[in-house]
Amino acid sequence: MPPPRTREKALRHRLAELRGPEVQAKALDARALAALAANPGCRRRAILDGAGVDKARLASALGAPSVFGQSQFAFVRGNAFEAKVKADGGTELLRLAHEKLDRSAEPPAGASVPDLTAQGPEGRAARTALALREATGASGTWTLLDHPMLALDVAGSPAFLEPDAVIVHPDGSWSVVEIKSFPMLDGSADPAKVGAAARQAAVYVLALEEVAARLGPPARVRHRILLVCPKDFSNLPTASAVDVRKQRAVTARQLTRLTRIQEIADALPEDVCFSPELPAEQLAAAVESVPATYAPECLSSCELAFHCRERSREAGAVTCLGRPVRAELGGLSTVGEVLAAARGEAGDPEDPAVAALRRAAALRAEALAAREVAGCR
Amino acid sequence: MSLITTLARLEAVSRDRAQPAATVRHRHLSDRPLVFVPLTTAGEAGAPLGALVGTDRDAPRLLVVPQPRDRDLRFAFLAELADVVLPYVDSYGEAVEAAERTETDPETGKRVKVEVELCADAPQLIVPSRAGVELVRLLGRSMRFRRTAEEDPQAPFPAPPRVPLLGRWLTHFGERARVPGSSLLLAMTDVLSRHWATGQSSLEDQHLGALLAWIDPPEGRGGAEAARERELARDADGQLLYPPAGPATDPAFDNKLLAPAIEAYDRARSALAAAEDGVEADARLGELTAAERRVRDLVESRTLPTWRAVWQGLDLLRELPEGAHVAERWTRDRWSYTGHRERVLAGEPPQPRRDDPVTAATKLATREREQARLEAQEALDDPLVMAARRLSGEAFAGEVTDVVMTWTESRRPSPRPLVTVRTDDRPHLAEGARVYRSSNGKPQTAELVAREEDGGVLVLRVLDRMGRGREPEPGSVPEKGERLCFTLFEHEPRGGAKLPDPEETPWTHGGPPGEEPAAEPADPVTEEDIL
C-alpha cells in the first residue's frame, strides 16, 4: 500500500484525467456542495463534482442542456441589496447582528473592516485566515469580513468558498452572514428558500470550523447564522437568526462520504474521460459507466438531470415518478415488471407487494368499469 | 399517494397518455370563471410585470407594467386590475336567496336560528399554477393596508381608490384557497392532477403545458414526447417555444428580450422628459408609445399560451360529470363569499397581518374538519376514490347473503336486523366497530357482530334510520342479493369539540379578546418598494 501522500496525489492525477486534458477544473461552490446533500447516493454526481467537471457544459454536449440560468433582473437586484446592507462600513449589518445574535455584547461602534484583497484564491484564503486570527485576538470589538475566502478540503482537493460576510463578535466567536434578496414578509419567508440558504450557510460554517481549528486556541464558530433579507415590499434590510446545526451535520456527513470518490474512480474503466470536447456518443458512454440514482428532485439541483431523466425513462425505472413510488412496490423497480405483476403475468403471488398490486389493479378496473356502465345509462 | 394512483401513473407511462384518477369532477366550476394569468419580475419577489385577466376566453384584458420598478406604473396596473376584478366580484352580490344561520342572541345568550341572505352564486378565480395562488395572496397582502388620498390626504404615494379593496378581496380568495375542497380560487395544475394521473412525477406536473400534453396530447403524438417538448423545446434564439405558466418568467426571456425592451422604454421616457418644444415632444411621445407597445407585445406573447392552456384545462374538466357533494361544498364557498362581502360593506378593517389566537384556532379547526369531510365525500362520490379506501382497509363492498330480523329487548322493541355480507375486501374491523353505508343519501350505521374465520363473511347489525315503528320502513333494510359498500369512516365527520365563543376563551388561551384592535397601520413607503 503506497503512503497516503502519494495516494492522494494519484487520485488528483486520476481526477484530472477524467476531466480531460487542458480542461480547467470547475471550482465547487457552496451551492454545489449543499446540493450534494440532496442526493448523496448518486455516484455520477459525486465523481463529476469531485473531478471538477463542468456539468452544464457536459449536459449541453450530451444534447440535454440544463435550464439553469439567472435573470439579470434578479442579479442586479441581489447585488444592489447586498451593497445596501454592507454600505457605510457595515453599520446596519452589524446592528442587525448585535440585535439578532448577540444582544448581551457591546453595541457595535466603529467596527473594523479589514482589507482582504490578495492574489488568487489561495492568497485570499490565507489573508482571510490572518484577518480572522487578528480579529479574534482583539477582544471587545466587532469585526466585519466582507467577502472572505475560505478553503474547504473536499475529497482531497481544496474547494474555495466565498460567503457574503463573516462577523467576529467581541467575545471572539464567529458568525456566518448570508444575504438573500427574497423578502421576509411580516417576519416570515418562503421556507424552501430559507432551507436552501441554511444549507449553503452550513457549508460556510464547516469551512470556518476548519480555519478555527488551526488557530492557537481554537475559536468558536456559532451555529446560528444571520440571514439578511429585504423587509416586506421594501429594500430595507431585516434579519433573522437561523439555526443550521442540522444542515451542518448532514453536510459534514456527506462530505466525509465523498471520500468514496477514490472508490468510484477505481471502478471506472481506464480510458473514461468527461471532456466536453469529445463526441456525444463517447461522452454518453463515459457518463453511462458511472451509475446514477435519478429522482425528480434532481431537476431542480443538478445540471445533468435531463440526461439522467431520459436514461431513467428509457430503462423504465419507477423512480422517475418520484421516490415515494418505490416504497410501495417492494422489489419491483421497472414499469414493465410492476404492470406485469399487476396483471398477473409475472411475479410471485406470495410476495406482499405483488398481492397488493393485484388487488389494487382489480379494484381500479372494477371502479372504472362501473363508470363505463354509468356512462351508458 | 395510494397504490391505485401509483398504478394509474405506471399505466400512463405504458400507454403514453394520462389515465383517470377520478371518475367525477370533485371541484365546482363556475359558468363564468375569472381567469388570471399573472407574470412577475425576477428578483423583485412579486413585482408585477403584467397579466391577462378576464371571463371571456376570446377577449382577455392585457395589463402591463412597462417598467416594474416604477411605483406609478405599478399602481396603474393594480388600479386596472381592480377595474376588472371588483366589478366581477360585485356582480355576484345582487342575487340572493334566503337561508338560515345559527347565531348567539346577544340578549339571552341562546343559540337561535336567524333568517339571513345567502348569495345565490359566488365568483371564482382561476390561476394557472400553485405559484399563482401564492401571488394572489402576496398581492392581497401588499394592497390591503394601502391608504388612498381620500382616506389619508397626508399619505405619501397614495394608492388609487379601489386598490385597498382589491387587496382585501384577493386576501380573502388566497385565504379561502387554503381550506380543503374549496373552489373560490383554484390552481389549474392542482385541479387537473387531482383528476388525471400522468406518466411523470408530481413535481413535473406543476408545469401546466406538460400536464396538458399528457392529458390531451396533440393528434397522433404520445404524451411523454409532447410533454417533453412543452417543457424544453426552444427556438433558434434560445427562447422556450412554450413559455412557463408563470408567474416567474424564463431567464433567457428576461435577459434577451425583456431587458432590452425595458431599457428602450426607459430611454424613450427620459428622452421625452428632456424634450424642449412641442414638436420634439410629439415625436418622442411616439417613440415612447412604440417602446411601450414592444413590452406589451412581449408580455402578451408569454401569457397568451398559458391563457389558452387554462381554458383548455377548463374544457377538459367540464367533460367530467360533477360529483354529488360538490354543490354542498360550493355552498360553503358561497357562505364565505357572502360573509366577506358583509364585512366589507359593514366597513370592518382589512384582515390583520397576523391572526389573533382565537381566529387562528378557528381557521385551523375549519381546515381540519373540511379535510375530513372532503376525504369522506370524495370517496362517496367516486368509486375510484372509494377503491383506494377499500384497498387500505377503510371500506368494503360486498353482496348481502342473508338478512335475519331481530329486535331490541325494550318495552317498545326497535328493529335491529342482522345482515350478512360476503366481501373480497379486507377491512380492518374489530367486533363492535361501527360501519356506515349510504341509504337514500343518508348515512346508516351498523356494527360488526361476527366475522367468519377467513374474514370474508361479516355479520352486521343495522342500528338506525329504519323509522320509529316496530317494523322497519320499506327500503331501509338491505335486501338479500343487494350489493353494498360500507365505510369505516363517518360520512359526515363532526370534527373536534366545538370551540368556545370568543368571549368565553379561557385565560390559558389568551383570554377573551380585548377591545376592538386598532386598525393596522399601512406599510411605510420607501423609495425602492417593489409592490
Give B502's DSSP letter: G
A268: buried, middle or exposed (CB in 10 Å: 19+, 13-18, 0-12)?
middle
Q: How many residues does chain A have?
A: 377
pLDDT at A148 over 50: yes
Do B337 and B436 fall into the same domain? no
Parallel/antiparallel/unpaired status of strands A165-168 and B125-127: unpaired
Predicted local confidence at residue B113, as pLDDT: 83
Q: Which residues contact B242 (CB under 8 A, 6 or more apart)?
A: B209, B229, B230, B231, B233, B305
Nearest to B251 among A70, A296, A357 (CB): A70
Residue in the block written with cell 350505521: B445
Range of the domain at B79: 3-244+302-351
Q: What is the mean pLDDT of residues A69-96?
A: 89
CA angle at residue B30 from B26 to B34, to 5 degrees? 120
pLDDT at A2 over 60: no
CB neighbourhood size of A324 (10 A): 13
Give the pLDDT of residue A377: 35
Strand, helix or coil for residue B161: coil
Among A73, A359, A367, beta carbon nearest to B41: A73
Looking up cell 467596527, which residue turns up? Answer: A111
pLDDT in tens, A266-316: 888 888 889 888 888 989 999 999 999 899 988 888 889 999 999 999 999
Domain boundary among B448, B468, B487: B487
- Contact between chains at B10 and A235 (C-beta distance less than 8 A): no
Cα distance between residue B350 and residue B265, in whole Å: 36
In a domain, B113, yes or no: yes
Query: Between residues 22 and 51 of chain B, which touch chain A (CB distance below 8 Å)?
Result: 23, 41-46
C-alpha B377/C-alpha B373 separation (Å) is 6
* Of A71, A339, A363, Cβ closest to residue B254: A71
Judge whether B243 and B250 are in contact, CB under 8 Å. yes
- Beta strand A224-230 with A174-179 is parallel
Find out whether B24 and B320 touch, Cβ atoms under 8 Å. yes
Report how far residue B502's alpha carbon sits from residue B525's, in angstroms, rounded to the nearest whole number: 35
Which residue type sits at B143?
Answer: M
Interface check for B487 against chain A (CB to CB < 8 A): the answer is: no
Nearest residue of A to residue B320 by CA position?
A375
The answer to whether B224 contacts A313, with C-beta atoms less than 8 Å apart, is yes
Q: Is B525 inside a domain boundary? A: no
**Among candidates B204, B249, B524 on the partner chain, residue whose Cβ is nearest the Cβ of A296:** B204
**3-state per-residue secondary structure call for chain A:** CCCHHHHHHHHHHHHHHHHCCCCCCCCCCHHHHHHHCCCCCCHHHHHHHHCCCCHHHHHHHCCCCCCCCCCHHHHHHHHHHHHHHHHHHHHHHHHHHHHHHCCCCCCCCCCECCCCCCCHHHHHHHHHHHHHHHHHHCCCCCEEEECCCEEEEECCEEEEECCCEEEECCCCCEEEEEECCCCEECCECCHHHHHHHHHHHHHHHHHHHHHHHHCCCCCCECCEEEEEEEECCCCCEEEEEEECHHHHHHHHHHHHHHHHHHHHHHHCCCCCCCCCCCCHHHHHHHHHCCCCCCCHHHHHCCCCHHHHHHHHHHCCEHHHHCHHHHHHCCCCCEHHHHHHHHHCCCCCCCCHHHHHHHHHHHHHHHHHHHHHHHHHC
CA distance readout (Å), B423 to A184, A270, B361: 55, 62, 42
Does residue B333 sit in the same domain as residue B411?
no
Q: What is the predicted pLDDT for the residue at A244?
A: 94
| B196, containing H or E segment | strand B196-197
Q: In this complex, which of A235, A328, A360 lies closest to B528 when CB atoms are compared?
A: A235
C-alpha–C-alpha distance, residues B382 and A248, integer Å: 47
Residues 6+ positions from A229 with CB-CB distance below 8 Å: A179, A180, A181, A182, A183, A184, A189, A237, A238, A239, A240
Number of domains in chain B: 2
CB pair distance less than 8 Å for B10 and A67: no
Is B152 inside any structural domain?
yes
Q: What percent of chain A has pLDDT over 90?
A: 40
Adjacent-strand bridge partners of B398: B423, B484
Q: Mapping DSSP to helix (H, G, I), strand (E, B) and coil, where does residue B28 land?
A: coil
B33 and B105 assigned to the same domain: yes
Contacts of A186 in chain B (CB under 8 A): 141, 353-354
| Last residue in a domain, options B471, B487, B503 | B487
CB contact, 8 Å: A192 with chain B?
no
Diameter over CA atoms, chain B: 104
- Helix locations, B435-521, DSSP H: none
Q: What is the pLDDT along chain B (531 residues), one digit of tens a residue?
A: 689 999 999 999 999 999 999 999 999 999 999 999 999 988 766 789 999 999 999 999 999 999 988 889 999 999 999 999 999 999 999 899 988 877 767 777 777 888 888 999 999 999 999 999 999 999 999 999 888 888 888 877 888 889 999 999 999 999 999 999 999 999 999 999 999 999 999 999 999 999 999 999 999 999 999 999 998 888 888 899 898 887 989 989 999 999 999 999 999 999 999 888 888 889 999 999 999 999 999 999 999 999 999 999 999 999 999 999 999 999 999 999 999 999 999 988 899 998 888 888 889 999 999 999 999 999 999 999 999 999 999 999 999 999 999 999 888 899 999 999 999 999 998 889 999 999 888 899 999 999 987 778 999 999 998 988 889 998 899 999 999 999 999 998 887 777 888 788 888 877 777 666 666 777 777 776 766
pLDDT digits (tens, 9 = 90+) for A15-74: 888 888 788 878 777 777 777 766 777 889 888 888 888 898 899 899 888 877 788 888
Asked if residue B345 and residue B440 are part of one domain, the reply reads no
Residue of B11, B354, B387 lying closest to A366 (CB–CB): B387
For B142, nearest residue in chain A (alpha carbons): A233
- B111 part of a folded domain: yes
DSSP-derived letter for residue B278 is: H
Interface contact A372, partner B, CB < 8 A: no
For residue B341, the surrounding DSSP H or E stretch is: helix B326-345
Residue A147 in this model has a pLDDT that exceeds 60 = yes
Angstroms from A253 CA to nearest CA on chain B:
27
Spatial separation of the C-alpha atoms in residues A158 and A118, rounded to whole Å: 18
Give residue B287's pLDDT.
93
Contacting residues of A for B323, CB less than 8 Å apart: none
What 3 state SS string does B164-195 have?
Answer: HHHHHHHHHHHHHCCCCCCCCEEEHHHHHHHH
A322 neighbourhood in chain B, CB within 8 Å: 1, 201-203
pLDDT of residue B215: 97
Q: Indicate if B316 and B437 belong to the same structural domain.
A: no
B101/B164 same-domain check: yes
Do B23 and B67 belong to one domain?
yes
Task: Please report which helix (H) or strand (E) contains residue B63, including its range.
Answer: strand B61-64
Query: Which residue pairs, CB below 8 angstroms and at least 24 apart, start in A370-375?
Result: A370/B23, A370/B383, A371/B20, A371/B23, A371/B383, A371/B384, A374/B23
The answer on B393 and B311 residing in a single domain is no
Asked if residue B135 and residue B181 are part of one domain, the reply reads yes
How many CB atoms sit inside 10 A of residue A195's CB? 13
Whether residue B187 sits in one domain with residue B61: yes
CB B317 within 8 A of CB B191: yes
What's B262's DSSP letter?
H
Instruction: Report the C-alpha gap between A60 and A64 in whole angstroms.
Output: 6
Enter the C-alpha cell of residue A70. 439567472
Determine contact: B529 vs chain A, CB below 8 A: yes
Of B6, B383, B525, the CB nearest to A371: B383
Task: Report helix, strand or coil for B512.
Answer: coil
* B374 occurs within a structural domain: no
Kindly tell me if the per-residue pLDDT of A157 is higher than 70: no
Angstrom distance (rounded) from CA B169 to CA B162: 11
**Chain B residues near residue A336 by CB distance under 8 angstroms:** 14
Q: Examine the pLDDT at A136 and tell me if it is beyond 80.
A: yes
CB-based contact B42 A73, cutoff 8 Å = yes
CB B381 within 8 A of CB B324: yes
Helix (H, G, I), strand (E, B) or coil at B438: strand
For residues B340 and B389, membership in a common domain is answered with no
* B434 contacts B418 by C-beta, under 8 angstroms: no
Is residue B124 domain-shared with residue B51, that is, in the same domain?
yes
Whole-number Å distance between alpha carbons of B443 and B441: 7
Q: Please answer yes or no on whether A363 and B224 come within 8 Å at the CB atom.
A: no
Whether B294 is covered by a domain: the verdict is no
DSSP reduced 3-state for B317: helix
- Smallest CA-to-CA distance from B245 within B318, B312, B291 is with B312
Please give the pLDDT value at position B1: 64
Question: What is the pLDDT, as a whole number, of residue A376?
Answer: 40
Q: Which of A358, A363, A376 to mutate to test the interface with B (most CBs of B within 10 A)?
A: A363
Half-sphere exposure of B475 (CA within 13 A, CB side): 5
Question: What's the pLDDT at B515?
Answer: 62
**A357 neighbourhood in chain B, CB within 8 Å:** 3, 7
Q: Count chain A–chain B contacts defined by CB atoms under 8 A.
A: 144
Per-residue pLDDT tens digits for A242-270? 999 999 998 888 777 766 778 888 888 88
What CATH number is given to the structural domain containing B472?
A: 2.40.30
| Calpha distance B9→B14 (Å, rounded) | 9
Contact A311, A293 (CB under 8 A): no
Query: Which residues, including other chains, have CB under 8 Å from residue B112's CB and lie 6 or more apart?
Result: B102, B103, B104, B105
Q: Is A299 on the interface with B (CB under 8 A)?
A: yes
| Mutate which: B5, B6, B74, vs A, most A CBs within 10 A | B6
With a CB cutoff of 8 Å and minimum separation 6, the contacts of A67 are A306, B232
Q: How far apart are CA B331 and CA A56, in angstroms?
A: 52
Q: Is residue B521 part of a domain?
A: no
Helices (H) then strands (E): counts for chain B: 13, 15
pLDDT surpasses 60 at A352? yes
Q: In angstroms, what separates the C-alpha of B196 from chain A's closest C-alpha?
A: 13
Instruction: Please indicate whether residue A113 or residue B177 has the higher confidence score (pLDDT).
Output: B177
C-alpha pair distances (Å), B461 with each of A76, B433, B445, B489: 72, 11, 9, 17
- Asked, for residue B451, whether it belongs to a domain, the answer is yes
- How many residues does this entry show for chain B? 531
